[in-house]
């Protein structure tokens, strides 16, 4: 048996137990959110949490779902399996309001207290600072805090850095899909982003996810590179395939501090609410949701990053295929099988 075969066998053996931390020094696999009851038996121990599960109602589209979640203490077990976690509910609220920490900030403090020295998080920047429009009721209206750099710094960036220090691996700026009739010209958006990143604290942990294909272009990418911000490759409803996004950037990763990010959010062509309904309660893979190209292209891009010496962070959402840990395992299998082709 060759050395590489021995390593591959070891990686696969650990992946069968959902242990992904040792896959490769340049690869960090994690999930978008955590604490799902549907992960018990794979990530979480039933005996630890069976009496501590709480229920909450989540309304998605026109349907309500009864979610069951574990306590924050379960993050200790989470990090036995994954190197990194994306905490995405920060998308909906700042960390400071009227000079006082928000409930979101208090929850993050509970996470930080339970993290080990090698555990890392990505936080999503609140949409109130990066979305051009916000949903209010059944309609969208202009966001008066769009690219408000001072408010972003005071209400999110500074408290986030205080809470996590070097455990904060990155901040994800997600900009919503822009309809063609309402879309800014790429050069105008690039100028706006240039002003924003020029007026917030310099940091090599900013990553931007543009959900409009037209913005995968030179003016926008040039601004990201000017400020050392990364461009996220995202498998999401209305975006092209991952390989196409990579090609639009000149077949290169646009990194932040040597870090690249891939996010697997939803199947291509499937709306958020439909993906959620199909994936719920997130306890198994839904074969009809799995798009083989998502798996093969993700694994190929992981190898591309390794060859270039770039650290790649793969963030997986339950909505991509039903269960993020199971999808992670399938991607690892594909990654190992690709070794001879890479």
Q: pLDDT per residue over 98-109, tens digit each?
A: 999 999 999 999
The domain ranges of the chain are 3-341
Length of the chain: 342
Q: How far apart are CA 163 and CA 280, in angstroms?
A: 32
pTM of the full structure: 0.96
CA 133 centroid distance within chain: 21
* CB-count burial class (<10 Å; 0-12, 13-18, 19+) for 141: exposed
Average pLDDT, the chain: 96
Q: How far apart are CA 146 and CA 130, in angstroms?
A: 5
DSSP category for residue 153: I
Of the listed ranges 6-10, 284-288, 322-326, the one predicted with least confidence? 6-10
Contacts of 269 by beta carbon, 8 Å cutoff, 6+ apart: 237, 238
Query: Which class in CATH covers the domain with range 3-341?
Result: alpha beta
Task: Enumerate helices (H) and strands (E) in the chain, giving the number of each.
Answer: 12, 15
Q: How far apart are CA 205 and CA 24, in angstroms?
A: 21
State residue 146 phi and psi, 5-degree precision: -60, 120
The whole-number average pLDDT for the span 115-128 is 98
The whole-number average pLDDT for the span 280-303 is 98
- Give the helix/strand (H/E) hosting 245: helix 242-248
């Amino acid at each position: 048996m060759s050395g590489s075969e021995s390593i591959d066998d070891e990686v696969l053996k650990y992946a069968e137990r959902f242990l992904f931390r040792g896959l490769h020094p340049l690869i960090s696999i994690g999930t978008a959110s955590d604490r799902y009851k549907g992960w018990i038996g794979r990530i979480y121990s039933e005996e630890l949490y069976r009496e501590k599960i709480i229920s909450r109602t989540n309304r998605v589209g026109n349907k309500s779902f009864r979610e069951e979640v574990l306590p924050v203490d379960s993050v200790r077990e989470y990090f036995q399996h994954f190197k990194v976690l994306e905490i995405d509910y920060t998308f909906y609220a700042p960390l400071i309001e009227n000079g006082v920490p928000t409930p979101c900030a208090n929850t993050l403090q509970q996470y930080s207290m339970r993290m080990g020295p090698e555990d890392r998080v990505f936080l999503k920047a609140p949409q109130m600072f990066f979305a051009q429009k916000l949903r209010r009721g059944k309609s969208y209206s202009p966001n008066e805090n769009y690219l408000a750099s001072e408010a972003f710094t005071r209400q999110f960036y500074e408290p986030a850095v205080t809470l996590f220090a070097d455990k904060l691996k990155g901040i994800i700026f997600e900009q919503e899909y822009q309809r063609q009739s309402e879309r800014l010209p790429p050069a105008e958006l690039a100028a706006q982003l240039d002003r924003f990143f020029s007026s917030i604290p310099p940091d090599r942990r900013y990553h931007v996810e543009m959900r409009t294909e037209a913005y995968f272009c030179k003016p926008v990418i040039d601004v990201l590179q000017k400020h050392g911000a990364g461009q996220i490759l995202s498998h999401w409803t209305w975006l092209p395939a991952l390989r196409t996004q990579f090609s639009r950037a000149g077949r290169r990763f646009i990194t932040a501090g040597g870090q690249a990010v891939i996010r697997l959010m939803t199947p291509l062509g499937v709306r958020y609410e439909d993906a959620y309904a199909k994936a719920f309660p997130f306890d198994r893979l839904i074969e009809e949701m799995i798009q083989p190209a998502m798996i093969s292209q993700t694994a190929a891009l992981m190898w591309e990053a390794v060859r270039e010496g770039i650290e790649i962070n793969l963030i997986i959402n339950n909505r991509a295929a039903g269960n993020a840990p199971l999808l992670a395992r399938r991607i690892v299998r594909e990654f190992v099988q690709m070794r001879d082709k890479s």
